[in-house]
Amino acid sequence: MTQNKTRKKNAAAASVETDEGPISIGRRSDRLRLRAAWMYHVEEMTQSAIAEALGIGRVTVVRLLSDARDRHEVRISLNRNVSELTALEMALERAFGIGEAVVAPLSSPDADPTRPIAAATGQFVSEFLQPGMKIGVGWGKTLHQALHFISDRQIPDISVVSLLGGIVKAKQYNPTEFAWQFSRLLQSECFLLPAPALVDSIETKRTLIERCGLSEIFDVARSLDTVLLSVGGMTADATAYRFGYFSEQDRLALVKEGAVGDLLYYFYGVDGRLVDHPTNDRVMAIPVESLAAAPNRILTSGGPNKVDAIIGGIRMVKPTVFITDEVTASAILKAVGVNAP
Q: How confident is the model at residue 28 (pLDDT cuts 50, 70, 90)?
A: low
Could you give phi then psi for residue 294, rounded to 5 degrees? Answer: -65, 135
Contact 225, 238 (CB under 8 A): no
Beta strand spans in the chain (E): 15-18, 21-24, 100-104, 134-137, 159-162, 189-191, 226-229, 261-263, 266-268, 296-300, 321-325
Q: How confident is the model at residue 290 (pLDDT cuts 50, 70, 90)?
A: very high
Domain ranges of the chain: 2-70, 83-335
Cα 50 from Cα 65, distance rounded (Å): 11
3-state SS, residue 18: strand
pTM: 0.78
- d(CA 275, CA 282) in angstroms, rounded, equals 13
Per-residue pLDDT tens for 101-111? 999 999 889 99
Q: What is the assigned CATH class of domain 83-335?
A: alpha beta
DSSP 128-164: H--TT-EEEE--SHHHHHHGGGS-----TT-EEEE-B
According to the model, what pLDDT value does residue 171 have? 57
pLDDT band at 152 (very low <50, low <70, confident <90, very high): confident
Q: Which of 8-22, 72-86, 165-179, 219-233 has the highest mean pLDDT?
A: 219-233
Residue 120 CB-half CA count within 13 A: 26
Segment 77-93 shows an average pLDDT of: 74
Q: Is the pLDDT of residue 260 over 70?
A: yes
Residue-wise pLDDT for 8-23, tens only, equals 333 333 333 333 333 3
The CATH number, out of the four listed (1.10.240.10, 1.10.4160.10, 1.10.10.60, 3.40.50.720), of the domain defined by the range 2-70: 1.10.10.60
Question: Can you tell me the distance from the alpha carbon of 182 to that of 139, in angstroms, rounded to the nearest whole number?
Answer: 11
Domains 2-70 and 83-335 share a fold: no
Pairing relation of β-strands 15-18 and 21-24?
antiparallel
